[in-house]
Structure 1
Amino acid sequence: MNKEELLQLLHPMKLIGLSGNPALNEKIASILHKPLIETAVHHFSDGEIQVNIGESVRGCDVFVIQSIQNPVNENFMELEIVLDALHRASAHQINVVTPYLAYSRSDTKTRSREPITAKLVANLLQITGMDHLIALDLHASQIQGFYNIPVDHLHAMPLLTQYFIDNGIATKEDNDLVIVSPDHSGAKLARNFAQYFDAPIAIVDQRGARYDAETHDVIGDVKDKKCIIVDDLIDTGSRISSSTKSVMAAGAKKVYVAATHALLSQNATEVLNELPIEQIIVTDTIKHNHYPDRMVRMSVDLLLARGIDYVYHDRSIHQIYDEQNEIK
């Protein structure tokens, strides 16, 4: 009996996909050639959630896939209840896979009497019995330090970068390419994205306590340039709107957008449709019924499936990072 067969015998892998993003759950399960455990989730009339896991998980390494998207609190509570059920059912190891982890933007205290909700979420997940977390493009990398368990932080930006290369939109040979950060706090992300193209960056000087959709000054040269605005998520679309208007006012000739998570809250679809953007490239971490025009969704199914496979087989996740950096 080889190591693989022994592992499957002692602690077989089992997958649970919850309500956040069923389509992505199915894609991941298909790649891993593992069926999703039948899990019945019932909502009572008063909003309470009941969960029933359809088969034994005793001694198993269980991976629970849940995108904590809108309705955020409902999806988070569903995850918490499933974790409690798995803990009580004697699962060997409980791994949580969050394509999108809500509350990640609340990672620091900036005003008096303000909570650090990302830390609260970490505490609640760990108290319920989670052993391992696989996350994708957290709003701030330091959130990993909120957990006292292993956290594997995967990145979708190389996937988005490859799209621009494959479709001839941007290459290292482009002398007119500029990567744009929509604010000062996103400069590091823009620089990391720009390194794949050896391109300069520009920063929209977004001022004020709240983001708005107005035109602002741009730090850097974007005149007659092809601009790619890079962000980790698109929420109401106001930050993308401000960035687009700002670089166009500064003389940019074309604007593209790349972001991992498309929250598309409130009237974001209408806001984005009105902007002179060539294409908006996002991933499928979040499910919606309708998407803005010119939005292209790249699937992170293979990336997350590989993350699950590597964790299950105790392989170094760093190999995924190395392969991602080898942009073709």
Structure 2
Amino acid sequence: MTEITANGEKRLVLASGRAHPELAQEIAKELGTELLPTSAYDFANGETYVRFEESVRGADAFVIQAHPAPINNWIMEQLIMIDSLKRASAKRITVVSPFYPYARQDKKHRGREPISARLMADLYKTAGADRLMSVDLHTAQIQGFFDGPVDHLMAIPLLADYVRTRVDLNKVTVVSPDTGRVRVAEQWAERLGGAPLAFVHKSRDVNVPNSAVSKTVVGQIEGRDCVLIDDMIDTGGTISGAVTVLKNAGARSVIIAATHAVFSDPAAQRLAESGAREVVVTNTLPIPAEKRFEQLTVLSIAPLIARAIHEVFDDGSVTSLFDGRS
């Protein structure tokens, strides 16, 4: 069956795009259900075709899609899936985008720039989405871009619980890669027993994409196990540079922890050669075999997403998943 019934009336349907079928299968398994049978393929000119093979009339539908490269293809597929569900009379449609596309374009730095993260929210709404679910948005303000409920899930408990087993809690320091992540670093520090904080000062040229230079570290990290945290790793240049800064400042070891493993080339090589003892990420994005390396640990985000889907379906509290944290 591809549905769960509650009170003999409600029906839950999980639909998945083709970007990350392994994650969708894990989520379905956690929920004790199966994915909606779907036909999806591309025409010769690149146009995408989607058709669901079972009725979704009156269903509470969740559309799961990851957004690795080529990101625009997977965005379009997800929008088409939403439109298909809407036209097939699904009662409610929730977009499940673990890695929110275009999240870094959330504000204007200069004149005549778009706010593409807002455009994505508008596209989801126009296609027919009623609700949005994502993990560790690049900035919290993105929640306000979507005209409807937004479930902002957090991977900190998953990542921090694992990291706790890998460090000496009496000698650990949480390091933010820049001043903008200090609030998140504080949440990490709380979960690691009140660990002290440090941050890496870096500079960025707004005219050059994927370019930031780590310069100095502010905070006491000499002889300590440093947990370097971020929401995503793209090309790996910034985070690898931060590892070098920390090691040069006397850090005993460095563990990198991030939610989204974008891993655009040459990220895997940079991380493998960075000197970090371990790189811990989640599977919000697929990581192909050629981008995996010895120090990499991948934790599954599927249980968290499945619990959130269950709460939404049962009209429960998604906030309860965060132990009261916002």
Between the aligned partners of 2:81 and 2:108, the Cα distance in structure 1 is 30
Per the alignment, residue 107 of structure 1 pairs with: 106
Q: Is the 8 A contact 1:183 1:204 kept in 2?
A: yes
- TM normalised by structure 2 equals 0.93
Q: What amino acid sits opposite 1:284 in the alignment?
A: N
Distance 1:258 1:170, change over 3 A: farther
Aligned-partner SS, 2:285: coil
Q: In the alignment, is residue 185 of structure 1 matched against residue 180 of structure 2?
A: yes
Q: Is the 8 A contact 2:204 2:212 kept in 1?
A: no
Distance 1:260 1:216, change over 3 A: same
Query: CA-to-partner distance for each residue in 1:83-142, whole Å, 9 max, x for gaps?
Result: 111111111111111111110111111111111100000001001110111111110111
Between the aligned partners of 2:7 and 2:34, the Cα distance in structure 1 is 15
Aligned pair partner of 1:207 in 203, 208, 213: 203
Aligned-partner SS, 2:215: coil
Q: Is the 8 A contact 1:95 1:132 kept in 2?
A: yes
Residue 230 (structure 1) shift: 0.2
Q: In the alignment, is residue 297 of structure 1 matched against residue 298 of structure 2?
A: yes
Aligned-partner SS, 2:191: coil
Aligned-partner SS, 1:271: helix
Residue 10 (structure 1) shift: 2.8
Structure 1 unaligned runs (5+)?
Answer: none
Per the alignment, residue 270 of structure 2 pairs with: 271
Distance 1:215 1:18, change over 3 A: closer
Per the alignment, residue 54 of structure 2 pairs with: 55
Q: What amino acid sits opposite 1:61 in the alignment?
A: D
Q: In the alignment, is residue 27 of structure 1 matched against residue 26 of structure 2?
A: yes
Distance 1:215 1:132, change over 3 A: closer
Q: What amino acid sits opposite 1:300 in the alignment?
A: I
Between the aligned partners of 1:46 and 1:240, the Cα distance in structure 2 is 38
Aligned-partner SS, 2:203: coil
User: Would you say how many aligned residue pairs link Structure 1 and Structure 2?
Assistant: 317
- TM normalised by structure 1 equals 0.93
Between the aligned partners of 2:127 and 2:227, the Cα distance in structure 1 is 41
Residue 323 (structure 1) shift: 7.8
Per the alignment, residue 169 of structure 1 pairs with: 167
Following superposition, which runs of at least 4 residues in structure 1 exceed 4 angstroms of deviation? 210-215
Distance 1:312 1:170, change over 3 A: farther
Distance 1:149 1:215, change over 3 A: closer
Between the aligned partners of 1:185 and 1:213, the Cα distance in structure 2 is 14
Between the aligned partners of 1:115 and 1:146, the Cα distance in structure 2 is 14
Per the alignment, residue 132 of structure 2 pairs with: 133
Between the aligned partners of 1:323 and 1:108, the Cα distance in structure 2 is 29
Aligned-partner SS, 2:202: coil
Aligned-partner SS, 1:134: strand
Q: Is the 8 A contact 2:204 2:213 kept in 1?
A: no
In proportion to residue count, which structure has more strand? Answer: 2
Query: CA-to-partner distance for each residue in 1:228-277, whole Å, 9 max, x for gaps?
Result: 10000010001111110111111111111000000000211111111111
Distance 1:244 1:71, change over 3 A: same
Between the aligned partners of 2:124 and 2:270, the Cα distance in structure 1 is 35
Identity of aligned residues (%): 37
Q: Is the 8 A contact 1:215 1:249 kept in 2?
A: no
Query: CA-to-partner distance for each residue in 1:200-238, whole Å, 9 max, x for gaps?
Result: 111111023266575511111111111110000010001
Q: In the alignment, is residue 319 of structure 1 matched against residue 315 of structure 2?
A: no
Structure 2 unaligned runs (5+)?
Answer: none
Q: Is the 8 A contact 1:212 1:242 kept in 2?
A: no
Q: In the alignment, is residue 216 of structure 1 matched against residue 215 of structure 2?
A: yes
Distance 1:17 1:324, change over 3 A: farther
Q: Is the 8 A contact 2:131 2:148 kept in 1?
A: yes
Q: What amino acid sits opposite 1:157 in the alignment?
A: I
Q: In the alignment, is residue 308 of structure 1 matched against residue 303 of structure 2?
A: no
Distance 1:8 1:82, change over 3 A: farther
Q: CA RMSD in A?
A: 1.7
Aligned-partner SS, 1:195: helix
Matching of residues 240-259 of structure 1 within 5 Å: 240-259=239-258
Q: What amino acid sits opposite 2:299 in the alignment?
A: M
Query: CA-to-partner distance for each residue in 1:28-84, whole Å, 9 max, x for gaps?
Result: 001111110111111011100011111110111111111122120000000000111
Q: Is the 8 A contact 1:213 1:242 kept in 2?
A: no
Between the aligned partners of 2:18 and 2:81, the Cα distance in structure 1 is 12
